[in-house]
Structures are given as C-alpha cells and as structure tokens.
Amino acid sequence: MDGKLFLVPTPIGNLEDMTFRAIRILKECDLILAEDTRTSAPMLKHFGIDKRVFAHHQHNEHKATAEIIRFLNEGQQIALISDAGTPAISDPGFFLVREAIKNDIAVECLPGATAFVPALVNSGLPADSFCFEGFLPVKKGRQTKFKKLAEEERTIILYESPHRLLKTLEEFAQYLGAERQASVSRELTKMFEETVRGTLTEIKSHFENNTLKGEFVICIAGKPATKQKNKYDDAED
C-alpha cells in the first residue's frame, strides 16, 4: 500500500463535533502526529484511539519532516492533528503538506472543525467574500498590516489572544474607524460561548468590562465600496 498523509480536524471545544470519519482514520492509521501530545491525549482516549503519537509542532517540524517523508515513502498511513481545529490553519501543517506533495505522496484533508467559519457565519457580516488573516504580526509589520486592511473591501477575519484583544480592537478603530461594524466570538462550541456584535468601539467597551478568557475570533466589515460615477448618472429619464 502506498503511504498517505491525512490532515484530520479535531474539535475546537465540544467533543461532539468530532466526525465519524475522523475517528475511523485515526484508528486505522499507523501513526499520529500531534501538535502537543499532552493536549491530544485526553481527546484520543475519549474516542478509544490507541496509536503511536509523535509530537509535530512549529519548533521541530523542519527537522522531523524528513523522517516523516521516509515513513510515508515506506507505505505508512500517517495522520496529522493540531491541538484544535484543522491543521495548517494558523497551526503547523503547511510545511509537511508541501514536502509530501513534492515527494509525490498522496495528501488528503478531511472536512471538519475550524474556528473562523462559525464565527464568520454567526457574525451577520457578508460571508460571500472574505479574507482570513490568522494572527496579526505582534511587532514588525503590524502598522503596515493595519494600513493594508483599512483598504480591504471584503469581510476581515483574524484570531487574537486574550491579552492582546483590547489593543487590537483599539488599533482597528484607529485605522478603520471607530464606527466600523464588527463581531467578536470567544469560546466557540464551549459552555461559555459568546458573540458580541456592534461597532469596534462598542465591542471594545464590552470586553473592557467583561471576561477576557479563551480563544477569540474577530470579524470586521470591509471598507464600503466607492461607487464610480459615470456620465449617465445625472442623465434624465
């Protein structure tokens, strides 16, 4: 049998979001690569998955990939999971996928949980066209990114940590305008799930006086498109 790399999404909070297919693949594969084996262990135990699990994260993925490619070339079936959600979406995975493709190894990504999709749909903002930014730069390139996003006409989606949320909302209000409509979701699929909608100023005010805990997804309305006036606009009927 030829080797194959499976990218398997795992729940972002609620274990009921695990798919039957994901459980089957994890039970049938030869090896599981996990972002953090301590985080994945309870989830794997919950679903009765007893497989070899190796750590595969941003600090070792370049070094470990060569050996993983060797295993795949030997015919092993390997599954990659992240701590939560879909691998390679603001998590390790891209480098391994690229190397597998370079080596003509089959790659298959299962559909499943990822935080930004429910946050976008739940926001009430246009979902027909959007840009996903992941995490913003912390220092270098941060101001340049805000200036670029100020001109973005699509709905903007990004992830943010609790200790930077207020600063990020303040900076977005500065560059995009305090009245820009937005939505912030936290603890998606968990017991204390919360979505706050309104202007950037209103949302910032809410979180200044409420819980700053969990993973945050920010959705912001794009810049209103400027209508191009043409010679027929003032013409009489």
Q: What is the mean pLDDT of residues 127-134?
A: 96
Mean residue pLDDT of the chain comes to: 94
Residue 95 belongs to a domain: yes
Same domain, residue pair 144 and 79: no
Asked if residue 223 has pLDDT above 80, the reply is yes
Percent of the chain with pLDDT over 70: 95
Give the per-residue pLDDT at 230: 60
Question: Is 100 in the same domain as 130?
Answer: no
- Split into its structural domains, the chain has a count of 2
Domain co-membership, 121 together with 149: yes
Dihedral (CA of 131, 152, 160, 190) sign: negative
DSSP 8-state class, residue 162: G
Q: What are phi and psi of 189, to 5 degrees?
A: 75, 0
Q: Is 227 a member of any domain?
A: no
Question: Does 229 have pLDDT greater than 70?
Answer: no
pLDDT tens-digit series, residues 134-174? 999 999 999 999 999 999 999 999 999 999 999 999 999 99
Q: Is residue 235 part of a domain?
A: no
In this predicted model, what pLDDT tens digit does every residue of 12-22 receive, in sequence order?
999 999 999 99
Beta strands in the chain (DSSP E): 4-7, 31-34, 53-55, 77-81, 106-109, 130-135, 155-160, 181-186, 194-199, 216-220
**Are 73 and 65 spatial neighbours (Cβ–Cβ below 8 Å)?**
no
User: pTM for the whole thing?
Assistant: 0.89
Does residue 233 have a pLDDT over 60? no
- Within this chain, do residues 37 and 82 fall inside the same structural domain, yes or no? yes
pLDDT digits (tens, 9 = 90+) for 91-117: 889 999 999 999 999 999 999 999 999
Q: What is the pLDDT of residue 179?
A: 97
Looking at the fold, whether 52 and 101 belong to one and the same domain comes out as yes
- Greater confidence (141 vs 227) lies with 141
How confident is the model at residue 151, as a pLDDT? 97
Could you list the residue range(s) of the whole structural domain that residue 58 is in?
4-109
Per-residue model confidence (pLDDT) at position 59: 86
Same domain, 78 and 173: no
- Count helices and strands (H / E) in the chain: 8, 10
| Residue 76 and residue 144 share a domain | no
pLDDT in tens, 54-86: 999 888 888 899 999 999 999 999 999 999 999
SS3 label, residue 12: coil
- pLDDT tens digits, one per residue of 179-204: 999 999 999 999 999 999 999 999 99
**Structural domain includes residue 69:** yes
Q: How confident is the model at residue 31 (pLDDT cuts 50, 70, 90)?
A: very high
Residues 86 and 138 both lie in one domain: no
